[in-house]
Structure 1
Amino acid sequence: MTQSHPLGVSRPDLAVADLPEPEEVFKVRRIGAKELFQYAVGPSLIALGISVGSGEWLLGPQAVGKFGFIGIGWVILVSAILQTFYNVECSRYVVATGETPVVGWGRVPPGFRFWVPVSVFVVIFAFIAGGWAASAGQGVYALVHGVAPPKGAEEPRLYAIGLLVVVFLLTAAAKRVSRVLELANWVMVGTILLVLLVIDLFVVPFSLWWEAIRGFVTPAAPPAGITATEIGGLAGFTALASGLNWYVMGHYRDKGYGMGHRAGFIAGLRGERRELLASGVTFPDDEVNRARWKRWYRLLLVDMWGVFFVGAILGMLLPTILMAHAVETSGRRPTADDVPTFVATVLNQEYGAAMFYLMLLIGVLILFSTQLGIFEAMVRVTTDAAHATSPRLRARIEGDPRRFYYPFMLVLLVVIAVVLHLAVPVSLVQWSANMSNLGALIYPFLLMYLNSRLPRPARPRPWHYVVLVLNFLFFGFFFVNFIADFLGDPLITF
């Protein structure tokens, strides 16, 4: 590879090579419907495993349980649409260059010494609170004891820490970390959505289904009494994590999408050592590569719109209508303390212990899939950033990113185990969700800079930039309001 493609500042030029054919990457004769789901679909499932979690099981049902669908549903739909567009733009860069977003940010002025550490800090700061882990621990406690944990109980926190250890063991047992996460989420997300769909069809009256669907498409002012901070948390964690969604999109590199096939991946401890390039690779603008890019881009759209978006909408719809039914049936509303177990408790009174434990199990799967994705992603982002920007570290670990990945995961596990003692889970989740909105003030503009400098076939169309600006306006407003509310005076009240 003698050619190079300059992109941005402070980082080496991208090497240039041909895009691979999808059949070459996935080792099949052709990509049909079966091969599409067996081999090509995957990174969206990891994102969906995080997506169908804190927002869908905690913040969405809590908001709907207190205030109903009208005035809230449209926030969910708009958030999911904007975030899916944003995910595609983040992934566009990964597929075209083989670089994960945290490495790509280092190409934006003033350069990697500023953007890379800032980006790692923002991701860690947003998710270190551990609300996703604490909530999963609450679900396990209820599954074991048959009741919601008392306020301030230590046992749920111990379960949360135990689940973090499970994440470590899963990744350690992998040959390729991303593949293990995909398979785990195929099982968990598939089970979650199928079971919730069957239960909803069985117990939720049609009138509530219609109210929920109508709420998604009815423009209406938010209901009286809800705060903009609560809406911001709901918007931030509907679908994924608004402006910070990029922290999961690096899995397209490890899946081998486009130039990710040339860049390498993070292997598990059972896998063979695999070189991970410190700088990316892109493709020449010629007829062959233009055709191949179109194929990869279509696969990306199927993965994001066909799997992630549909799954995110179902993941929010199904738990929230169950919550609405539970509120209507019981005459009570969930609180921040009991929202993880509220539906199971109400359905126990209607349908008995079997339904109670089934719902608790589904809750644990939902929150553990989030825990799995977030915990691993924090480690992955930090590993990618350190490996790409520090020649000294690469020499020290002898080019094997696993020598940083696994020790850092253990350190992070200990830190989260301490931090999750600080507040009730839903409060921690709302903090993370609103911190995710901070990313919308920053990263859409970094994406515009990077993607406008890709090889011409991979560049976005003008209307894609408009959608990125809408992400900035929509999610950015909620973060500014969150800060104003934190300081004492929210920008708007309802």
Structure 2
Amino acid sequence: MADIVQSENTYPLGVSRPDLAVQDLPTPEEVFKVRRIGPRELIQFAIGPSLIALGISIGSGEWLLGPLNVGQYGFVGVGWIITVSALLQTFYNVECARYVVATGEVPVVGWGRVPPGWFFWVPASVFLIIFAFIAGGWAASAGQGVYALVHGRVAGSGDAEEPRIYAILLLVLVFAITAAARRISRALELANWVMVVSILVGLLIIDIVIVPGRIWWDGISGFFTPAAPPDGISATQLGALAGFTALASGLNWYVMGHYRDKGYGMGHRAGYLAGMRGERKQLLASGVTFPDDEKNRGLWRRWYRLLLTDMWGVFFVGAMLGMLLPTILMTRAVEISGDTPTQANVPTFVADVLKGEYGSFIFYIALLMGVLILFSTQLGIFEAMVRVTTDASHASSSRLRARIEGDPRKFYYPFMLVLLVVISVIIHLALPVGLVQWSANMSNLGALIYPFLLMYLNSKLPRPARPHWWHYVILVLNFLFFGFFFINFIADFVGDPLVTF
């Protein structure tokens, strides 16, 4: 990418951050280096950020919390919460990505333009992301799956330490993947292409072979059947399920920065995080936007259609399939065993039941699916915590930029090693699924805050990029739906929940 020469023409947006430089939007063909964007080019080059988000989403919500709740309480009264959550989160993702595509700034940097300014919102947002996800429940759960693969049995009460060691080794593997990359986002995309396709195809085959048609129907119809939550389930459990159904409710913005690194819209002008093997690339500390003229209005519509295709065609469809396939498999396992999963055994419950019914082969296949699912989440979340902190630090501190000589990698990789050590300690402190439920409800806290920050920013974008009025209504619905579950979580934590079933 050629160095950017800032124009005298700038665009003011918000407070406490430099005005945006103004340049023409690039064409998709220019960014992806193709003659035209047809179906093949769409799949090969344009689709990508949604896969990283989908790889994260299929883990904690779809493999752990969804099957746990459905396995204990059934589909009716639970399924519609999954559907509403997936719809609201996909709309929210599009609005977060709108800002990235229009300005080349990742959300954690954009929040610094909202009053009172970067000195409050940037560190607060980094803290919230770290606080929500550093618990490492996704890593600990993956370690349980690896233990079962190695030993051919589920870890017992006396085997707690070895799964944690495997979890730490998987964190090291994440570091290795990013270190070996030329372009970190591209490495994550390719890894998730392999894992997500393998997961969905593998689960589909297992479900077709094992799950009766009536359970398929119960699962699909449960997604669209409005009903009161089942007796005995808590609003805190439902809040965790809602928060992690598609991704991370109000904190989904932490993944949307990949649209910058993919080169969507003005992201192509802003730069990207290179890997250790990649050549050093310029990463702008402040964003770039486009003029409101006929040429750029047409280009914006093209980029926005690509964004909608990536989010609705890949992320939403994949998230719904990713929830349906594991939950109907869990329902079949509960039917076979006559037992229900618990927080302690849900990562390996299905594989253990299928081993007794169908033999070791299906046991290992189910375990492998579980490990891939949880590792894809581990890969995305661990890298995202490092990425958000790096982007925020690089954009906010001229002193840091001077110290690292303008090369974000000199901050990115050391911080990743520090985070690896911290998570390795924390995963010894609680059951994996309990840690995941904590993270999910912290994600719902984000829904009380960031929809309003997003409305402020997007309303000030160049006119062609601004949302329609009904987009703001949907952002308010995100606030109401996920925010209720967080408030209930706090009420439950300090005393009595707001509602009981």
Scaled by the length of structure 1, the TM-score of the pair is: 1.00
- In 2, Cα distance between equivalents of 1:307 and 1:172: 27
- In 1, Cα distance between equivalents of 2:139 and 2:211: 29
Partner residue of 2:43 out of 37, 43, 46: 37
Is residue 493 from structure 1 mapped to residue 500 from structure 2 by the alignment?
yes
Aligned to 2:4: none
Task: Tell me how many residue pairs correspond in the alignment.
Answer: 494
- In 2, Cα distance between equivalents of 1:351 and 1:463: 51
Aligned to 1:169: 176
- In 1, Cα distance between equivalents of 2:498 and 2:83: 23
Partner residue of 1:86 out of 92, 97, 105: 92
- In 2, Cα distance between equivalents of 1:3 and 1:209: 58
Q: CA RMSD in A?
A: 0.5
Aligned to 1:204: 211
1:15·1:280 contact (CA, 8 Å) conserved in 2? yes
SS in 2 for 1:15: strand
Q: CA deviation at 1:245?
A: 0.1
Aligned to 1:344: 351
Aligned to 1:266: 273
- In 2, Cα distance between equivalents of 1:355 and 1:368: 20
Q: CA deviation at 1:301?
A: 0.1
Is residue 413 from structure 1 mapped to residue 420 from structure 2 by the alignment?
yes
One-letter code of the match for 1:60?
G
SS in 2 for 1:217: coil
Could you list the structure 1 runs, at least 4 aligned residues long, displaced by more than 6 angstroms after superposition.
none
1:151·1:337 contact (CA, 8 Å) conserved in 2? no
- In 2, Cα distance between equivalents of 1:183 and 1:290: 32
- In 2, Cα distance between equivalents of 1:115 and 1:148: 44
Aligned to 2:407: 400
Aligned to 2:473: 466
Equivalence map 1:107-122=2 (5 Å) = 107-122=113-128
Deviation per residue, 1:432-470 (Å, 9 max, x gap):
000000000000000000000000000000000000000
Is residue 275 from structure 1 mapped to residue 282 from structure 2 by the alignment?
yes
Equivalence map 1:289-300=2 (5 Å) = 289-300=296-307
One-letter code of the match for 1:261?
H
The unaligned stretches of length 5 or more in structure 2 are 1-6
Deviation per residue, 1:293-318 (Å, 9 max, x gap):
00000000000000000000000000
Partner residue of 2:138 out of 132, 136, 157: 132
One-letter code of the match for 1:20?
P
- In 2, Cα distance between equivalents of 1:447 and 1:347: 45
Q: CA deviation at 1:324?
A: 0.3
- In 1, Cα distance between equivalents of 2:251 and 2:199: 24
Aligned to 1:324: 331
Deviation per residue, 1:105-155 (Å, 9 max, x gap):
000000000000000000000001000100000110011111111236100
Aligned to 2:21: 15
One-letter code of the match for 1:155?
E
One-letter code of the match for 1:90?
C
Is residue 243 from structure 1 mapped to residue 250 from structure 2 by the alignment?
yes
Is residue 427 from structure 1 mapped to residue 434 from structure 2 by the alignment?
yes
Task: Give % identity.
Answer: 79
Is residue 2 from structure 1 mapped to residue 8 from structure 2 by the alignment?
yes
1:176·1:271 contact (CA, 8 Å) conserved in 2? yes
Is residue 65 from structure 1 mapped to residue 83 from structure 2 by the alignment?
no
SS in 1 for 2:265: coil
Deviation per residue, 1:195-217 (Å, 9 max, x gap):
10011011100100111111100
Aligned to 2:294: 287
Partner residue of 2:195 out of 188, 194, 200: 188
Aligned to 2:3: none
1:73·1:217 contact (CA, 8 Å) conserved in 2? yes
- In 1, Cα distance between equivalents of 2:104 and 2:146: 39
Aligned to 1:27: 33
- In 2, Cα distance between equivalents of 1:275 and 1:148: 48
- In 2, Cα distance between equivalents of 1:214 and 1:278: 48
Q: CA deviation at 1:479?
A: 0.3
SS in 1 for 2:21: strand
Deviation per residue, 1:405-433 (Å, 9 max, x gap):
00000000000000111100000000000
Is residue 378 from structure 1 mapped to residue 381 from structure 2 by the alignment?
no
- In 2, Cα distance between equivalents of 1:191 and 1:66: 27
- In 2, Cα distance between equivalents of 1:280 and 1:470: 29
Partner residue of 1:51 out of 49, 57, 65: 57
More moved, 209-218 vs 68-77: 209-218
- In 1, Cα distance between equivalents of 2:290 and 2:157: 56
1:99·1:263 contact (CA, 8 Å) conserved in 2? yes
SS in 1 for 2:447: helix
One-letter code of the match for 1:2?
E
- In 2, Cα distance between equivalents of 1:253 and 1:378: 16
Is residue 333 from structure 1 mapped to residue 340 from structure 2 by the alignment?
yes
- In 2, Cα distance between equivalents of 1:92 and 1:458: 7
Scaled by the length of structure 2, the TM-score of the pair is: 0.98
SS in 1 for 2:223: helix
Deviation per residue, 1:139-183 (Å, 9 max, x gap):
100111111112361000000000000000000000000000000
One-letter code of the match for 2:82?
I
- In 2, Cα distance between equivalents of 1:336 and 1:269: 39
One-letter code of the match for 1:419?
I
SS in 2 for 1:338: coil
SS in 1 for 2:399: helix
The unaligned stretches of length 5 or more in structure 1 are none
Q: CA deviation at 1:2?
A: 1.6
One-letter code of the match for 2:461?
L
- In 2, Cα distance between equivalents of 1:138 and 1:487: 31
- In 2, Cα distance between equivalents of 1:17 and 1:2: 10
- In 1, Cα distance between equivalents of 2:9 and 2:178: 36
